[in-house]
Amino acid sequence: MAVAHMDLKEALDTLKDTGVRITPQRHAILEYLINSMSHPTADDIYKALEGKFPNMSVATVYNNLRVFREVGLVKELTYGDASSRFDLVTTHHYHVICESCGKIVDFHYPGLDEVEHLASHVTGFKISHHRMEIYGTCPECASKEAH
């Protein structure tokens, strides 16, 4: 199932609406996040873009990601390992995480929206959101283990 990722135009419009200046670097970082399905770290993004922006540092990438996070475009995911991964805020999707290499893959499952209604109904809570993580071994790691 396809993940309903926001497109670049939507993301750029959000920045414009919140008054964030769109620099070429910000544009490139957003584009990279939109095209990447793998929840890159700041370091991944830096390595992918350093050829295009030789004077960009990891700190620049990180600061821009923080700006995106503050305007609600990006979520910072921390899964116990040292480096935060970044993910565009999208419609509901869930993460399947490889326990061997740490790769995170999106999958979309709309059926879980009912969980929030039920939780609210049963507990009386006003529910803001939920988070589900599924763990396993990715095909690449599984095939390595088999050999």
Residue 12 exposure: Cα atoms within 13 Å on the Cβ side:
12
Q: Do residues 33 and 20 lie in contact, with contact meaning Cβ atoms separated by under 8 Å?
A: no
Q: Do residues 127 and 120 lie in contact, with contact meaning Cβ atoms separated by under 8 Å?
A: yes
- List residues forming the annotated binding site for Zn(2+): 98, 101, 138, 141
- List residues forming the annotated binding site for Fe cation: 92, 130
- List residues forming the annotated binding site: 92, 98, 101, 130, 138, 141
Contacts (Cβ under 8 Å, ≥6 apart) of 13: none
